[in-house]
Chain A
Amino acid sequence: MEFLRAKLAGKQGTQFWRALEELLEQPQALQCLREAVPQAARLDPVLDRRSFLGLLGASLAFGGLAACSGPPPEQIVPWIRRPEGLSPSQPRFYATTLRVGDDVIGVLAATHEGRPTKLDGNPAHPASLGSTDAMTQAAILELWDPDRSQAPLRHDAIASWDEFLGQAAATARQFAQDGRGLRVLSGRIDSPTLAAQRQEFLQRYPGARWHQYEPVDDDAAQQGTAFVFGKPLCTRHRFDQAQVIVSLEADFLATMPGHVRAARDFAVKRSPTGVPPTMNRLYVMEQTLSLTGANADHRWPMRAAQIAAFVEALAAQIGVPSTRPPAADIAGGLDSAQLRRLKALAQDLQDHRGTSLVLAGAAQPPTVHALAILMNEALTNVGRTVEYFESPEPRESSTDSLRTLAESMGSGMVDTLWILDANPVYTAPVDLLFEERLAKVRNTVHVGLFRDETAARCTWHLPRAHSLESWSDLRTYDGSVSLVQPVIAPLYDVRSLHEIVAFLLGSSRADGREIVRSTWRGQGGLDEEAAWQGALREGVIRNSAPAAFEIHTEPRALPTEQRPGAQGSLDLLFQPDPTVWDGRYANNGWLQELPKPVTQLTWTNAAWVGPALAARFQLHDGDIITVRSQGRSLEAPIWIVPGQAADTLVLPLGYGRRAAGHVGERLGFDAYGLRTSASPWQAVCSIAATGRHVELATTQAHHVIQTGEPLRAGTLLQFRQNPAFMQAAEGAPASLYPERAGGEYRWGMSIDLNSCIGCSACTLACQAENNIPVVGAREVQRGRELHWIRVDRYFRGSPEMPTVHHQPVPCMHCGHAPCELVCPVGATVHDSEGLNVQVYNRCIGTRFCSNNCPYKVRRFNFLQYADTSSPTAKAQRNPDVSVRSRGVMEKCTYCIQRIEEAHIVADRQMRRIADGEVVTACQAVCPAKAITFGDTADPATAVSRQKASPRNYRMLEELNTRPQTSYLGSLRNPHPALQDET
C-alpha cells in the first residue's frame, strides 16, 4: 500500500477517484492490455434469447389475466387527498402498507383503470413520510411478475383449493386433542392479525408450536436489550434530535428497519442552517463500507474485535459504570491513533448529552448492543434521541427458534409442518440441515408468492396473494400499525396469508377483510365503521404505537463473548444484499439491475475484499477465490471495496437461488452455504485464489479521475469561513447567441449533495414511472443499461480510509444543449419551458447526441429491450409514458407527463401551476429530500431558493451548456481535533 499512499500524496486533497483498479494495478501496460483485449465472450454479439425473454418477464404469462382483473370486490377506500370520482384516465390512489425486506412502510398505490402501476410513500406513515426506498418501488413489479405461482400445487401437480381444504380439515381433526407434532414456521410476525391468529392456533393446539425465522434477524439487539432490561425490547431512534451519532456498524440509512424515516431525519439535521451554520456529526465504526459509513464525517474501518474493544473503551471513557471485573485498563488494546479518536469522540459525546445517539448493528454481538444502550443512558439520551418499547407481537430469537424446529424435525417429532411465506430450504443456516430434515416430515405445506426451493420440497404449495391483493395489518419500526388493503383483485387463484391460516384454524371459507376487521374490534378505536374507514383512508391507525418502556437498568457483568477468531484467519461477515435482500427479491428484474450502492454491481453478488487484502493475494475484481469456513467452502468472485477493514471478507446473502423464476436463478453464489446457526453474522474464514476470473456486470468505470471536478465538496468549517467557497472563480462563460424568449415556466432541478445518501431509490422510482425496461447482465456489462438517473459515486483520500460522495445524475436539460445541435432530424429539441425534449417517433438513432452529451445521461435502445408482448408487463406500465422501441434514444424528461398533467389541472382551473405541484418521480421517492424541482423563472419557488444557495454549482460549467439541473455542494463536519483525518 506504500506506493498507493505515495501516489495519492502527490495529488492535492481534493483529488477524487472512483475505483481502485488504477491505483492498485500492476504496470500500466499490462493493465491496458487487460482492458483493451476483449474477452472472448464479448465477441459474441447475440443476446441469449431465452434469458432475455426471462428478463422481459415474457415467460408464459397467462394471457389477458391482468386485463380482466380490476378493483377488488370488497369495499376499499381511496386515499383521502384525491378528489373523488375522477375520470378513469386519472390515476386513483389507495393507502396501504408493505413489508419490504424486514421493514414495514406505508405507501400510496397509484392505479390506472384499476391496475396498480406505481407506489409512492404515504406522507402520513411514520416510516415513510412520503418517501420510499428502492425495494418498495420494485414491489409493483413483483405483483405483476408472471413467474408468481398461480394455483395450489400438490406434489408439483396443479390442485384445487377444495382439495387442500379437505387436507386442512384432516389436519385439524388429526391434531384435535393436543396438537403435538404440528408446527408452523413463519417469518418475523409484524402483523397484529397474524399474532392473533397465532394465539388462536396455540390455544386450539396446545402441543403445537409456532416458530419464527428471519434470515436477517435482530437477535443480537434483542439479547442486548434483554441483558439490560431483563426482556427483549424494540428500539426507536430519533435522528432528528441527535447532534452527534455514533454508529457501531449500524447501517441505519440503508438496511435497518425504519431507514427511510431515518434518512429523512438525518438529512434534516444535515443541512447547514442557522448562524453560524451547524450540522450533525456522524461517526461510523464498521468492518466494511456501508451506505451509512459513506455518509459519515468520521468513518473508521475496524475488524470485529477492534470495534468491541473500542466500544468498551468508549463506554468506560463516558462513565458507563464498569461492566467488567476491573481487569487491565480497557484502552490498553488501542494504538495511539485510536486513543486520539477515542478521546475526541468521548469528548464530543459528553458535549452533547441528550442530543447524541449511539446505536449498534445487527451483526454486532449482544454486548456491543448492551453497551450502546448503557452509553445512551449515561448520556441521558434515553427518551430524547432513543426510546425502547415492548413489541405487542411475540418476539423470539430467529436462530434459536429455527434450531429447535430443525432438531425436532430431525428427531421425527414433527408430523405436519406449515411454512408460511418463508423459504428455509434456501435461507436456513447450513448446519441445521433443514433440507434433509424436511424430508422426514410427513405432511408439509408451503405458502408463498413463488414456487421456491422450499415449495419444491413440500407436499403442498399454496400461492399467497400479494400484499397489494390482500387484507392485513402491519406494525412498523416505531410500533405504530397501519392497515393493508387490496388495491386490485387477485390476479390468480390465490389466498391471503390470513385466509390460509384460518383454514388451519378450521374455518372453511375465510374472508380476509373480516379476519383483519375482527382483530381490531374492541381495540385501536376502530369499532365504528367511520373510524375504520378513516384508518383505511389515512393508511395508519392513530396512536397505535406502544408507549416507551420505563427504563430501569441494574449493572450486571457483561457475558464474555466467545469471539470467533483464530489467529491468522480472516473475519467473515455476512450481509443482506442491498437489492435482493435475503434472496426473496431475486426474481425482480428492476432490483437485479439496480447498481448496488457500494459496489455498483448488478445481477450478482461478490465476495468483498479490502484493497490491502486484494493486494496481498494479487486479486482483481472478478477473480474467483475459494472461501473456507468451519470445514465448508464455496467459490466466489471478489470485488474490491475501498475502506473495508483489512483481513475482513464480506459475503452478501441472497444469490445462488436454485428456484426463483426466470430472472433470479443461477446468479451469483449462495453465501448461506457458509452460514451457521452458532454465529449467523460473524465467522472466520480463509481464502485462496483459484486463478479463474469472471466478468461481473458493473456500471462503474474503473478509473482515477484525472480531469475536472464534477462533484464539489468541503467541510463545514470552510463553509463558515466562506459560504461561497465552492463557487467557480470564473462564472458561467458568455454566449455568442442572443437569449431566446422563454415560456410561461422554466423548469429546473436542484440536487443537494449534502442530503443525498446515495441509496439509488431515485433510479428505481424513475424506472417504475417511465417504463424503463431491464436489459440484463450481459447488456449491462456492455454498458447499455437504460437508467435515466444514475447515482455516481466518488472516493477521496486513501483506499483504506476513503471519504465517499454520491451524485445523482439525471439529464441536465441544458439551455445550450450539445445534443440538440447535432441531431440531423431534430429529434431532440428545446421546448418553451426549458425542457430538452426527446421526440421518440422522430429519432432515427444516429447516437451523435449521446456522443456529444458531456454528462452521458442519454440511453439508447440498441436492441428491442421493451417487452411489447406479455400482458402482465403491459398491465404494469404507466399509461402516460410511451414505450420506446429499438433504435431510439431516450433520457430523463423531468417526468414531462407529470408536468403536462399539472398543466391540464391548472388550465382547467384557470390558474398558474403552483410551486410543488409538479413532483418528479425521483424527487417524490427521495428519502432525504435531496431533489427539488420547480419553476426557476419564479424566484419564490423552492427550487429557486435552493439555487440561490452559495453551495449551488453547475456540473461542467466551463462547457457553457447552461444546465437547468444544478447541484448543492456536499459538506462534511469532521471533529475539529480530527480534521487531519479527512
Chain B
Amino acid sequence: MSTGPYGCIAEFDSAPALLAAVAGLRTRGYSRLEAYTPFPVEGLAQALGASRDWTAVAMLVAGALAGAGMLALQYYGAAINYPINVGGRPDASWPAFIPPAVEMTILFAALAGVVAMLAANGLPRLHHPLFDSQRFTRASRNGLLLVVLADDPRYEPGAVRQALLELHATHVETVPS
C-alpha cells in the first residue's frame, strides 16, 4: 500500500554478469534482492540467500502417509469391518493390498509437491507490480533482471542506480508499486 516505488529494476546481458551483480550488491549491504530470469540459473537462488526448500520433504511425508493409510484402509475393510470369503483367500491378503498402496503413495506425493511449490512461491498471484513494467516482460523471453526492492533498509534511488550501473547493468529503471 506504500505509495513509494516497488523497487529498482536492472537488466544484465548474461547469467554470469547477473550473478556477479548479485554478489556485488550483497557486499554493498543490500539484502532485499530479487532476480528474474527466462530460465533457471544455477546458484542464483543461493546467491540471493535462499531459504530452506521444503518441497521434497512435503512430498515424502504425504507419500508415506498415503501409502500407510491405504494399507490400513484395506486391512480394515477386508479383515475387520466386513471380512468375507473370496475365492478361499485369507482376509488379510497383504500381497494384494500392495498395488493400490503404491499407486496412492505416488499420487499423493505428487499432489503434495505441487501444492508445496505453489504455496512456497506465493502462487497463484495474478497481479504483481512488476507486471506494469514493460521491461519485465523480457524476463520470460530473453532478459535477465535484477530488482532491488524499495523496502530495502539501504534503498536510496540514486545510490542503487549507481551501484547497478557499476555492476554492468545494461539498463536500469525504477518500478512503481
Contacts and interface: CB of A to CB of B under 8 A. Distances in A.
Chains A and B share a contact (CB less than 8 Å):
yes
Interface in B65-103: 84-90
B86 A826 contact: yes
B90 A830 contact: no
A47 interface: no
B84 A737 contact: no
Contacts of A815: 88
A820 B86 contact: yes
A859 B60 CA distance: 47
Nearest to B82: A826
A424 to B, nearest CB: 59
A489 to B, nearest CB: 47
Nearest to A962: B88
28 contacts: A737-B88, A737-B90, A738-B90, A740-B85, A740-B88, A815-B88, A816-B87, A816-B88, A817-B87, A817-B88, A818-B87, A819-B87, A820-B86, A820-B87, A821-B86, A821-B87, A821-B89, A826-B86, A829-B84, A829-B85, A830-B84, A830-B85, A830-B86, A830-B87, A830-B88, A831-B85, A832-B85, A962-B88
Given A826-B84, A830-B85, 20 more contacts: A735-B88, A737-B88, A737-B89, A737-B90, A738-B90, A815-B88, A816-B87, A816-B88, A817-B87, A819-B87, A820-B86, A821-B86, A821-B87, A829-B84, A829-B85, A829-B86, A830-B84, A830-B87, A830-B88, A832-B85
Contacts of B88: 735, 737, 740, 815-817, 830, 962
A865 to B, nearest CB: 28
Contacts of A829: 84-86
Interface majority SS on B: helix, strand, loop or mixed?
loop
Contacts of B85: 740, 829-832
A830 B87 CA distance: 7
Nearest to A831: B85
Interface residues of B, number: 7
Contacts of A826: 84, 86
A317 B85 CA distance: 66
Contacts of A740: 85, 88
A821 to B, nearest CB: 4
Interface string A793-827: 00000000000000000000001111111000010
A831 B84 CA distance: 8
| Residue from the set B84, B85, B86, B87 with the largest chain A CB neighbour count within 10 Å | B87
Nearest to A816: B88
Interface string B103-130: 0000000000000000000000000000
Contacts of A830: 84-88
Contacts of A820: 86-87
A740 B86 CA distance: 10
A829 B88 CA distance: 9
Interface string A158-200: 0000000000000000000000000000000000000000000
B89 to A, nearest CB: 6
The 9 closest A-B pairs by CB, nearest first: A830-B85, A821-B87, A816-B88, A820-B87, A820-B86, A817-B87, A829-B84, A816-B87, A740-B85
B64 to A, nearest CB: 26
Nearest to B89: A737
Contacts of A735: 88
A185 B71 CA distance: 79
Interface in A815-854: 815-821, 826, 829-832
Nearest to A739: B88
| Residue from the set B84, B85, B88, B89 with the largest chain A CB neighbour count within 10 Å | B88
B119 to A, nearest CB: 36
A735 B90 CA distance: 12
| Residue from the set A737, A819, A962 with the largest chain B CB neighbour count within 10 Å | A737
Interface string B39-58: 00000000000000000000
A862 B85 CA distance: 28
Contacts of B86: 820-821, 826, 829-830
Contacts of A821: 86-87, 89
A855 to B, nearest CB: 15
A830 B88 CA distance: 8
A202 B78 CA distance: 79
A819 B87 CA distance: 8
B110 to A, nearest CB: 24
A976 B55 CA distance: 87
B163 to A, nearest CB: 67
A526 B28 CA distance: 129
Contacts of B87: 816-821, 830
Nearest to B84: A829
A740 B84 CA distance: 10
Nearest to B78: A826
| Residue from the set A735, A815, A819, A821 with the largest chain B CB neighbour count within 10 Å | A821
Interface in B126-164: none
Contacts of A819: 87
B102 to A, nearest CB: 17
Nearest to A818: B87
A883 B35 CA distance: 71
B151 to A, nearest CB: 58
Contacts of A738: 90
Contacts of B89: 737, 821
A829 B85 CA distance: 6
Contacts of A737: 88-90
A912 B35 CA distance: 85
Interface string A125-166: 000000000000000000000000000000000000000000
Contacts of B84: 826, 829-830
Interface in B1-37: none
B88 to A, nearest CB: 4
Nearest to B86: A820
A851 to B, nearest CB: 15
A817 B88 CA distance: 7
A820 B88 CA distance: 9
Contacts of A817: 87-88
Nearest to B91: A740
A227 to B, nearest CB: 66
A737 B86 CA distance: 12
A896 to B, nearest CB: 16
B98 to A, nearest CB: 16
Contacts of A962: 88
Contacts of B90: 737-738
| Residue from the set B85, B89, B90 with the largest chain A CB neighbour count within 10 Å | B85
B97 to A, nearest CB: 14
B155 to A, nearest CB: 64
B1 to A, nearest CB: 57
Nearest to B90: A737
A826 to B, nearest CB: 7
Nearest to A815: B88
Interface in A881-924: none
A185 B87 CA distance: 62
A821 B87 CA distance: 5
Nearest to B85: A830
Interface in A469-496: none
A820 B86 CA distance: 6
Nearest to A821: B87
B105 to A, nearest CB: 20
Interface in A713-759: 735, 737-738, 740
A740 B85 CA distance: 8
B79 to A, nearest CB: 13
A737 B84 CA distance: 15
Interface string A66-109: 00000000000000000000000000000000000000000000
A826 B86 CA distance: 8
A812 to B, nearest CB: 13
A737 B90 CA distance: 7
A926 B86 CA distance: 32
Contacts of A831: 85
Contacts of A818: 87
Interface string A333-374: 000000000000000000000000000000000000000000
